[in-house]
Structure formats: C-alpha cells, structure tokens
Structure 1
Amino acid sequence: MTAVAPATALPVSDPDPARRRARRRASRRNTLSALLFLSPWLVGFLIFTLWPLIYSAYLSLTDYDVINDPNFVGFDNYVELFQDPKIAQALGNTFFFTFIQVPLYVVVSLALALLLNRAGRSAGFFRTMFFLPKMTPPVAVGILFLLLFNGQNGLINTVLGTIGIHGPAWTTDPAWVKPGLILMSLWTVGASVIILLAALQNVPEELYESARIDGAGFWRQSLSITLPMISPALFFIVVVNTIAGLQTFDEAYTAFFGAGNTTYSNDAALFYVIYLFQQAFQFLHMGYASAMAWILFFLIMIVTAVQLIVSRRVVYYEGEAPK
C-alpha cells in the first residue's frame, strides 16, 4: 500500500478580486496617511540635518571663505588639522573638562536624588527648585560665572574668606579656569536629578525589605539593589552628558571670549567647539571648520561606542540576570 504524503498547507488568497483591490487601496491609504503625519519631521530632517551633514562633508574637502566659491583641496584641511597645535590644546581642554565634569555631575545628581527620595511631601517643591536653574540661558550662566568666581570680590571667594581660606583666581589663573567651569556646570544638575529620582522610585520596595531581613545595611543595599536597578538611568545620563561635555561652548565662550574679551586666560578655556566657531565665523575658514566638525563627530562616535560596550557588563535591565 503506497503511503500518501500529507498535503502542504498553501497560503490561501482571497478569490474575490474586488476585495483584494479594496485591501490594497486601504493599505496605500494607511501608508500615505502615515507619511503625511511624518512629513513635517521628514522635511525638517532632510533640510536641516541630512543636507547640512552632506554639504559639510563636501566643504571639509574645500577651501571656502563664505565670500568666494569653494575651492576643492582634497584632504589638505585634515592634514593641516593634525598639524595645528591649537587643536591639541583645545582637545586637551575639552577632554579634561568632560572626564572630570561627567563623574562629578553624576555623583551630585545621584546624591540629590537620594535626598529627594526621602523628602516625602516636600519632594515636589524641591524637585521644582532643582530644575529651575536648568531653564537659565547658558549666556546668563556664563556671566554669572564671572560674578561668582571673580578672584577679587566674587561670592565664592568671599564665602571662602569667612572661614579663613584664600580663594584662587578662578578666572585668571589657567590652573583654575577649567575647575571653575566644572563647578559652575553643576548649576544645571536638575534634569538629571529628576531622571534619577524617577528611577529610584521605580525600585521595588520588596527588594529592600528582603535585604533588611537578611541583615544588609545601607551600603550593601545601595551596591546590590539601588545601583543595579537604576543603572540604565545612570548610563543614559553618562552618555548624554559626555556628548554635551565634548561640545561645551556657551558658558565658556560667554565668560572668556564674548564681546572681544581679552582680559582673562582664554587659552585655558579654549574648548574644541569654541576653536571651531572661531575658525568658521571669525576667520571664515569654513572648510577647515567643517573638517574639525567631522573629527569631533567621529570622536563622539568612538567615545559613545566604548561606553556602549562597557555598558554590557555594568548596566542591568529588568528581566536580565544581574551581571
């Protein structure tokens, strides 16, 4: 007796051509509606992001002064960039600022978030107070920096003087310019505090209760429960603030380079984006500035990629086994 092979199930198409055409029309209408809703973003992305990105890549290969037509020079701008001593100085200032400021920023944000998490009913008021400085325009923060950190009669040195400490010349001593800017950047920790507070409030209380039953103290609970559970929020803050630190411009430019300022130690506050701005809009070296922008783009990509690789070992996401 010959065995009969089982029939293979085949996709059944609608035998009615009218219904098939109706479904295709409905699908096209849905696609068109989606594109219509997305069109403002798509147009904005194409005009204000993608096209400038492509055009700046072209300009980085030219000698362009805005007035005359671009003159193609190949990779000469990149060769000159690596021979420019100001580039090394600006990168050094930028990396020093970023890799000191970001950990300090995260520590202060976490400390304030932990305090707010225990504030009870008053947490809403303090949450608003911490966030308000974030609304301050960066130019105002730069001016405020000069007022607070003035070595002669600034508020910071006046307070230090009341306890017998002779404050440094924050705005004129090159050794103290960047530390002063780092301290001033803590003015805007409010947004990170709110993010971390939300993460802390989402940690299940049952975990702490179990830890207390097992005899775990505050530090053991913090290391074994709090930090792992809020590690995604911490990682987000580290990445975002690292990118922002590598693009530092507003406050430092306002304090040390604005309105033809030549009174202070400008070179100590010469960050990479400030030097890029000078090349583009003061010296009109648009091609050179475009090359600088692409170098910064690749540096940020590399730093972010390293952070993403490290995060695989130290960041815990819900549903995963702790690393």
Structure 2
Amino acid sequence: MRPENQSRVSEFLLLGLRIPPEQQGLFFALFLCMYLTTVLGNLLIILLIRLDSCLHTPMYFFLSHLAFSDISFSSITVPKMLINMQIQCQSITYAECILQVYFFIFFGCLDSFLLAVMAYDRYVAICHPLHYTTIMRNELCIILVAGCWVSSCAQALLHTLFVDQLSFCAGTTIPHFFCDLAVVLKSSCSDTSLNELLILTEGGLIFILPLSVILGSYIRMALIILKLPSLKRVSKALSTCGSHLFVVFLYYGTIAGVYYFPSSGSSKDKDMIASLMYMVVTPMLNPFIYSLRNKDMKHAFQKIFRTENIPWCR
C-alpha cells in the first residue's frame, strides 16, 4: 500500500508517558508544579537582572537569555502534555508537530550555545581578571548572544525543512509525549537516511563544538588555579563554576543518551525519562542553581522585595 503524502495527514497520535489511569492525577499535579516552578523561577531571574543595576554585567546578561530560553524550551512541550493528560486526548495536528520540532531544536541549540558562552565568560573572569571588562565589553556580549540566536534559528530551520519533506502514513503514532525529532523520523514512511546523516554530522558538530568550548574553558581554568593554589581561589572558582558544570553535564548527558546512545526498541521509556530530564527537570533546576547559590542574586532579591535599600554593589 502506498503511503499517504504528508499533506493529507492532518494529525498524529502521541502515545505519551505510560502512566496508570489511577496515577494520572498525581503525575499531572507533579508536572504542573514543575512547569510553574520553571516559569516563575526563570521569570524571577529575568526580573531581578532587569531591575537591579548591580546585575548589569556580562554573566547575568547571558543568564537572562538562558532563563528565557529555559521557559520557552519547557513551554513548547509541557503544556501540550498536561492538556493531553487532562482531557485524555493524545492527538496533535501536523502543523503543531512541525512547530514543536522547530522550536525544540531552536531552544535546545540556544541553550547549548548560551552554556558555551557562559563558560567562556567564566574563563575570562578567572584567567584574565584584570582584562575582563576590556574583553567582555557590551558590544562583544551583544554579538555573542545575537550569534547564538541566529545560529539556533538556522539549525532549527534546516532540520525542520528536511522533516517537512517526509511522508507520513495515515494514523501515524508517535511513541513519545512530544514531537521529538528522532522519534518523528522513525515514524515516517519515507527514507530518512539523509535526515539521520544530517543529525549525525551537522547536528553532531553543533553538539560537540559548544561542549568543546565548555570543557576547554574549564580545563584551562583548572590549570590556572592549580598553578597558584589557594583555598580562597579554589573556593571562589567552585562557587562560580560548579553550578554551571552541573547544568552542563545534566543537559549534555541526557541529550547524548537520547540521540547518540539510544535505547533499544523495548526500552523507549528510558528515552522519554531522559527527555523529561532535559526538557523539564534541567530548566526547573536552573533558577535554584543560579540563584540560591549566588550571593549577588540573593542580594538583588532582598533589595527589591524588602524595604531596606542596602548598597550591595561593590
């Protein structure tokens, strides 16, 4: 039987998470709380950075964009998943699915690029502290962030256009809770070898380059710190970079597990759990990692939400 062309397929069926009916309400409340925490926490970061002039520095400029990206990254999938869980309807239109693929790639790449830029910023701050303000000037920060946005848009558009050329059979089911690129390709009736080659080569390059910048920056920082060992210096470096490294390993580790070391056909639940980690858990943790462990953010919170006006800027 000849597969129907994609233009005649109006919707797909998302199988979603395998949750027993009696536990649907519990998991709905859990994911709703996690999503609200993600949105409110990251909005708070953006608000604090916007209102407090003490936080108008390159590091917090990049952090504000990461916070916005995390909100958007979760918002493209979690609300749809919550709606489907509530109304027990797993369908998604073809247009919505393609949009999910595009914005999933877009904000996923944006997160990756911003994490690399933030690692470079920490490298300059620790390895070249006397020249930090000269190197990380406003113009460079704007160029770096603009490059992240433009590059992410180009990556998302490239992969989405290739997906849009595929054909899908009527009644196609997607064994996931959102239109993940890899799962959508496996659900297609067309030959996806070109798409898979694109993911492994060009997509792999986009995965490796930011990770190389991050690891290279931290290796260089470690060498500098070890040359001049000091408890105060080590403590400052760990407080500055430890949180960022934790986010990096959580984010890249789960993505690598899904796309480059996928589970077997009988263990797809593991891939969905890994997807939940970088789609839901990591964006939710970022406000706690970058705020609760950050003295400047705590001070900014106190200045804005308390009556005292303490001059915290140094």
State the TM-score, normalizing by the size of structure 2.
Answer: 0.29
Larger relative contact order (Cα-Cα within 8 Å, sequence gap ≥ 6): 2
